[in-house]
Structure 1
Amino acid sequence: METLADDLGLVVAELLTNVLRHAVHPDGTPVGRARCVVQRTPTGLVIVVHDDDPALPREQPADDEACSGRGLRIVRALASGLAIVPSPAASVGTDITLDHEPPQHKHAESAA
């Protein structure tokens, strides 16, 4: 369970860092608000990171020497059930949703 917490902590930190770096106007002022909601479900966790920027995040090319451009790849590698969509709950913005089931729960369902 500690590894799961570490992985999800890294994922949330990466997503919130992306909001702080990329959800800004050309002059550097923030595009509205950002929020992170974590909800426990019977099968795991749902994490939603929202920002008011209408531009959807996209993977950036990164070579071996690049200092950035790997964030969404890391998120996709560590999190299950990733969705990046325009926010259905707000008139503007983006929701990044992780519907994460711990591996042991998936194995228990498969065996049943």
Structure 2
Amino acid sequence: MKKTEKHEPLCEDIAGRDCGLKRIIDKIGGKWKIMILCVIDKNDIVRYGELRRSIHGITNTMLANSLKELETDGLVERKQYDEMPVRVEYNLTEKTKSLIPILLDLKKWGEDNL
């Protein structure tokens, strides 16, 4: 029996700049960014030190750079309080909260298949 129905391709322009899959991988790919999102999702609001303690093996430089990129990309909000010592908190944006169910599906697939 021939398969006549076509499914939607992941990307029309494979790895091109209009590929939505490539754009999201560019934003959350790598070793640390999804882990950072996981910690913030679990705790709602997180301070830098808590992130550092929760993600084993991440360096201060990598954490700071990843947080800055996530903030620049609109995936994490940073709120700084004018106190001494300065207090900074991070939380997920609404856009990123809509990504969490997709990451949960990916997690489930990994548990079932890898």
Q: Give the alignment's TM-score, normalised by structure 1.
A: 0.31
Q: Give the alignment's TM-score, normalised by structure 2.
A: 0.30
Higher relative contact order (CA 8 A, sep 6+): 1
Bigger helix fraction: 2
Larger Rg: 2
